[in-house]
């Protein structure tokens, strides 16, 4: 058996309380499975970490934030018909 694991299911041992929390979150998120729920939570965690790191960076480098905002504004204010 090689390293190919895409689409393979595995069993994960969790407490009943954790299982119930995952099922409750699935209902809240409209997720169709525990896998989808956990993936969404992982994605949310990644984005929160990225946002926190970005905030930390710009707190330590405020002049970079101004340049980044100027570039963002240039892109968002651009007239698409100019392309």
Distance CA 63, CA 32 (A): 45
Q: Is residue 34 part of a domain?
A: yes
- pTM of this prediction? 0.64
What's the pLDDT tens digit per position in 9-18? 888 899 999 9
Q: Is residue 10 part of a domain?
A: no
Q: Is residue 47 part of a domain?
A: yes
Structural domain containing residue 42: 16-82
Q: Is residue 11 part of a domain?
A: no
The answer to whether the Cα torsion of 31, 36, 38, 40 is positive or negative is negative
Q: Is residue 27 part of a domain?
A: yes
Domain count, the chain: 1
Q: Is residue 21 part of a domain?
A: yes
What's the pLDDT tens digit per position in 25-81? 999 999 999 999 999 999 999 999 988 888 888 888 888 888 887 877 777 776 666
- Count CB neighbours of 30 within 10 A: 9
């Amino acid at each position: 058996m090689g390293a190919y694991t895409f689409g393979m299911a595995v069993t994960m041992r969790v407490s009943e309380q954790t299982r119930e929390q995952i099922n409750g979150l699935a209902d809240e998120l409209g997720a169709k499975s525990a896998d989808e729920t956990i993936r969404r939570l992982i994605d949310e965690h990644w984005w929160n970490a990225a946002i926190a790191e970005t905030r930390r960076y710009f707190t330590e480098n405020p002049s970079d934030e101004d340049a980044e905002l100027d570039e963002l504004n240039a892109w968002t204010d651009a007239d698409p018909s100019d392309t």
